[in-house]
Structure 1
Amino acid sequence: MHEHEWRRQIVSEMHLRRWPQIHAPMLVVQLVRLVDNTDRDAEWAAWRAMPEGGMVRRAYRRHVSGNLAGGIDFTWERHSEASTHTLFAPADAGEALEAAVAWMESLPGATLRATRIAIVPDDEAAAQMLPAMAFDHEELVSCHVAGPMRIWSDFRIGDQGYGQLLIAANGLDGGPLSRAVQRMQELGNYRNLALIGLPVARAAWPRLDEAESGLRELGESLNRADVRDDDLMTQLSALSLEIAAVASSTDYRMGATAAYALLVDERLHELAPTPIPGFISLSEFTQRRFLPAVRTCAAFSARERQVAARASQFTSLLRTRIETRIENQNGALLASLERSATHQLRLQHLVEGLSVVGISYYATALIGHVLEGGESLVHFDARLAIGVLTPIVIAATWLGLGRARKRLLEGGH
């Protein structure tokens, strides 16, 4: 069978990123890291070289799963710009879990989100653990998700750099519980990935302010006749380069923010949070600050496109101004050439008239000498004959020069 080169990659993609089945009580620790392309090979080598007691069950280029010492399962997932490392440990894993966490923290990449999740069977067990979690009660989020499952968290970073999440399964077990917890984590992970765009937008916003101010000054200069086109073009080129630099440094991040925001919305819809009186629900927590941040990024993208469009409009206006000036200069030059040609034509006619007079004068003088010489042989009045011939000579000279000019012009074509 001749297979397409991507067939197995496409099929395997549908089976990746599955968590092992979760049974309460259990502890889940997850790190989300941004990993540079230069560190991808080192990351892959680290997962392939397991610590003592570890074993890889499945290894794909974008997904690895296996076991570590102490009965701890793990998964590694590679995303487009981040990697997710997750440990699944029994509630009493103790030192084995801490050793696994230390090894996981040593892997390449910059941590974007770190979470410790305690999963207990029901609300009663969760109530016993709540005091130890030390949540900020003023910002405590608690609601039912995915049906009966209940969550507690303040979504703050703790002293050890981890956020804490308490989950009461309340009847969910195995695959349904695993999928619900995974969706909870994906919601938070995509939320953080989306929010990377917010500081980028805030940092680049003053650059758009400066670009707009420059375009405003440029627009005022376009109406002034004393400003040189070269100076305007230099200013406009500098502004266009600055706007292009802003776009190239932010477009990817703004596009990623929009894409991650859609995923957050999908996961939130799938979890279907049910509010509990007296607590902030997951939907309320997400919408209160996440949506304004996403809208800020969208507004930045829209403003960047508007500034770029205005720069393009100014470029067109300046080009029109330059072309108009060139056309006016060409018109003035053509008018000057036309006047010069008219003067030359008049001068030429004057010269031709003088030439006719001169040629006729000398021709008449020559004929006069001939007639005066023949006057002694044949009795006639030479002066009368010269007087009669003079108009004829002038007319013949005029016609001859006109015909010569006509032949010269026809020969030039």
Structure 2
Amino acid sequence: MIASLPLHPDRDLLAGELHARPPLPLATPVAISRLANVGEAGAERGAAVAHLAVLCRRYGVTPPAPGADFWLGDFGRFSLRYERHTEFDGWTFFRPGPDAAAPDPFDETAIEAVPTDWLAGLPGKMLVASHIAIVRSAGEEEPPSPGCFVPDHLAGARLSAGAATCWSDFRLGPDGFTRLLLQDHGMPPSLAGRLAQALWEVETYRMLALLALPAARAAAAARGRAAERGAARAGRLPGLKELEEERQALEELTDLATSIEQQAATTADRFSASRAYHVLVGRRLQSLREQRLPGLPTLTEYLERRLDPAMSTVDAARSRIATLSTRCARAVELLRARVAVAQEAQNEKLLAVMADTGRAQLRLQETVEGLSVAAISYYVLSLAAYALKPLPWGRLGVAGEVVLAALVPAVAALVWIRMRRRRIRPML
């Protein structure tokens, strides 16, 4: 019946998201090795699946489909769980662990069964490497052997209402892996799988959260220099008098604001991802339901002692970059307003000078027009004299000079009117 209904194209994807990376039931004892490789910029997304297919062909195992985000396979000596995340690939290897009587539960690790040449070709850069040993324990909790961890840095807790006990020092061992020991006090395989997954996710996400710490420290040095430059330039603003000085200061502040925005754009994604991973670490630790062991910090307390200050450093760096960007942008806006006011005043002066020049030109033009009227009238009257003098004005009882004299105002008026019309016509 549901097939006849219009379905959303992402319905199956969203419905299966809750089951995308299910916990794997684990029968103790078991040895687990976890790797998390961060992809390089511009790397092909399917490179990890293609590399996994190479291992499958070597052991005669059916390879995963191209573009798979999750895959689980049995290679005989070991099992492999592959997970594709947003910015890293998770490789988790499993093999049967040593007996409870073994002096060191980390003598035989899961990754030792994996071909080294294939491991060397894993795509990306390895960020997380961790061993988890799940062993059976007859008592409530048994202290780990002295060779497993550094005693001064040991943390531990009972998990899941005493079903297991976890120990770790979160330090890199001789092989470059951190180590977590999980003692099984009778927990079912499903719970063992969930606890193991929570532990390797805590280790993975805490390292990814700390990935922003070097960027935050580097940004702090650059931010300090930018703050000094911004304060120095802002302190010079009240003393600026000339427009050219203000323009130069505006250019310097604009360059500084651009560099701050570039720094913010470079670190924004990393800082946001760090905060998201930190939240995931806290949720995974809550799922462990820890109970304190006498004389030891819990895993949560141990991680919070250094992880929370590191995340505070990242948050402070992000906040200070945003504050510095806002302050610099405000200074740019204030200086831009000053430059605009100064330019308006300069333009007003320029317009006043142009108005004075226009008035002077008008007066000169009027003077030239007056002279032109006199000159044209003179030439017209001179020509008229040549035409009028030979005429017999004496018969009419009028002298020719009188006639020319009478023509002077009329000719001058006609010339002035003509020139006036010629000047007004272009304006129309």
Q: Same fold (TM over 0.5)?
A: yes
* CA shift in 2, pair 1:156/1:54, >3 Å: farther
The farther-off stretch of 177-186 and 307-316 is: 307-316
C-alpha distance in 2 between matches for 1:15 and 1:57: 21
Post-superposition shift, 1:49? 2.7
Equivalent residue, structure 1, for 2:104: none
* CA shift in 2, pair 1:152/1:412, >3 Å: same
For the residue of structure 2 that corresponds to 1:83, the secondary structure is strand
Equivalent residue, structure 2, for 1:204: 219
C-alpha distance in 1 between matches for 2:131 and 2:422: 104
C-alpha distance in 2 between matches for 1:411 and 1:88: 97
Identify the match of residue 21 of structure 2 among 10, 17, 22: 17
* CA shift in 2, pair 1:381/1:255, >3 Å: same
* CA shift in 2, pair 1:174/1:56, >3 Å: farther
C-alpha distance in 2 between matches for 1:378 and 1:46: 129
Please list, as runs of the form range in 1=range in 2, the aligned pairs for 1:68-217 lying within 5 A after superposition.
68-70=75-77, 72-92=78-98, 97=110, 99-103=112-116, 105-108=119-122, 109-122=124-137, 124=139, 127=142, 130-148=144-162, 149-217=164-232
Does the aligned pair in 1 maintain the 2:28–2:134 contact within 8 Å? yes
Give the share of equivalent positions with the same residue, in percent.
28
C-alpha distance in 2 between matches for 1:176 and 1:147: 12
Post-superposition shift, 1:113? 1.9
Equivalent residue, structure 1, for 2:38: 34
* CA shift in 2, pair 1:362/1:27, >3 Å: closer
C-alpha distance after superposition, 1:165-222 (max 9, x if no partner): 1112333212122112211221221111000000111112211222222222332444
* CA shift in 2, pair 1:157/1:394, >3 Å: same
* CA shift in 2, pair 1:145/1:99, >3 Å: closer
C-alpha distance in 2 between matches for 1:97 and 1:264: 24
Does the aligned pair in 2 maintain the 1:215–1:239 contact within 8 Å? yes
Post-superposition shift, 1:153? 1.0
* CA shift in 2, pair 1:357/1:179, >3 Å: same
Does the aligned pair in 1 maintain the 2:376–2:415 contact within 8 Å? no
Post-superposition shift, 1:124? 2.6
* CA shift in 2, pair 1:374/1:123, >3 Å: farther
For the residue of structure 2 that corresponds to 1:175, the secondary structure is helix
Equivalent residue, structure 1, for 2:74: 67
* CA shift in 2, pair 1:92/1:402, >3 Å: same
C-alpha distance after superposition, 1:323-345 (max 9, x if no partner): 33433332222212211221122
* CA shift in 2, pair 1:352/1:141, >3 Å: same
TM-score of the superposed pair, with normalisation by structure 1: 0.83
Does the aligned pair in 2 maintain the 1:118–1:166 contact within 8 Å? yes
Does the aligned pair in 1 maintain the 2:53–2:63 contact within 8 Å? no
The farther-off stretch of 320-329 and 27-36 is: 320-329
C-alpha distance in 2 between matches for 1:411 and 1:35: 75
- Matched residue count: 408
Does the aligned pair in 1 maintain the 2:26–2:193 contact within 8 Å? yes
Post-superposition shift, 1:317? 3.5
C-alpha distance in 1 between matches for 2:353 and 2:156: 86
TM-score of the superposed pair, with normalisation by structure 2: 0.81
- Match status 1:346 vs 2:359: no
C-alpha distance in 1 between matches for 2:332 and 2:258: 12
Equivalent residue, structure 2, for 1:49: 54
Does the aligned pair in 2 maintain the 1:126–1:166 contact within 8 Å? no
Post-superposition shift, 1:141? 0.9
C-alpha distance after superposition, 1:349-391 (max 9, x if no partner): 33444455566677788889969976643556888x679x66x
C-alpha distance in 2 between matches for 1:396 and 1:230: 60
C-alpha distance in 2 between matches for 1:311 and 1:235: 11
Please list, as runs of the form range in 1=range in 2, the aligned pairs for 1:321-360 lying within 5 A after superposition.
321-355=338-372
The farther-off stretch of 399-408 and 144-153 is: 399-408
The farther-off stretch of 159-168 and 106-115 is: 106-115
Q: Which runs of 5+ in 1 are unaligned?
A: none
Does the aligned pair in 1 maintain the 2:167–2:182 contact within 8 Å? yes
C-alpha distance in 1 between matches for 2:192 and 2:52: 26
Please list, as runs of the form range in 1=range in 2, the aligned pairs for 1:220-369 lying within 5 A after superposition.
220-222=235-237, 223-225=239-241, 228=245, 231-232=248-249, 234-355=251-372
Q: Which amino acid aligns with 1:162?
A: F
CA-based RMSD: 3.5
* CA shift in 2, pair 1:362/1:273, >3 Å: same
